């Protein structure tokens, strides 16, 4: 026998559409599946879909706006764990506490870009996002103050003060030897 003729391969797969063959009707369709053509969307279902999408976008915008609160709690815990002494770890934590909200405030437009829709009001979520990030920056500034790294006392500014005027002069005296 010639090679490849007359012998059917066991591993061959037929790749034709089985839905048109009569043998496919022997198996019932699973529940919820119909072979009919998709129905044409009417105006009511399209409007409902758009309203559902707008509602979803609004909910996601609020979730994104509340995300800095989680970061605020985590950063507060990390600052508490860092202690009140000045060392490399505490300075790194404070730098992170100031840098992350700063970057978030710079990119408010990018953060809320996916939710831009005329039916979705993103003003309130943006204001909450900004307020929470400002609170996080305030927490970082507070930690700087507790570490003593902010110049808040008069002794921190002594170098810029002019010397005090001398009120009294002393002179004379007898040498003892």
> Over the stretch 52-107, which tens digit does the pLDDT of each residue have?
998 999 999 999 999 999 889 999 999 999 988 899 999 999 999 999 999 999 99
Residues 6+ away with beta carbon under 8 Å from 93: 75, 78, 79, 82, 143
Report pLDDT digits (tens) over 106-126: 999 999 999 888 888 999 999
What is the C-alpha separation between 95 and 75, in angstroms, rounded?
A: 11
**How many of the other CB atoms lie within 10 Å of CB of 81?**
10
pTM attached to this predicted model: 0.65
Q: Which of 75, 129, 65, 67 is nearest to 97 (CA)?
A: 75
The angle subtended at Cα 102 by Cα 101 and Cα 105, nearest 5°, is: 80
């Amino acid at each position: 026998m010639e090679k490849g003729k007359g012998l059917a391969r066991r591993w061959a797969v037929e790749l034709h559409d089985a839905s048109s063959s009569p043998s496919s009707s022997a198996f019932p369709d699973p529940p919820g599946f119909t072979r009919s053509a998709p129905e044409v969307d009417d105006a009511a279902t399209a409007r409902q879909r758009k309203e559902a999408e707008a509602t979803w976008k609004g909910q996601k915008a609020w979730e994104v706006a509340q995300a800095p609160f989680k970061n605020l709690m985590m950063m507060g815990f990390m600052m508490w764990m860092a202690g009140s002494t000045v060392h490399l770890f505490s300075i790194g934590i404070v730098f992170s506490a100031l840098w992350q909200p700063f970057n978030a405030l710079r990119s408010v437009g990018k953060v809320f870009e996916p939710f831009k829709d005329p039916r979705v009001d993103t003003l309130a979520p943006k204001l909450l996002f900004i307020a929470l990030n400002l609170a996080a920056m305030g927490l970082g500034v507070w930690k700087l103050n507790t570490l003593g790294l902010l110049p808040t006392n008069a002794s921190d500014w002594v170098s810029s003060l002019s010397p005090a005027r001398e009120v009294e002069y002393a002179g004379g005296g007898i040498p003892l030897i």
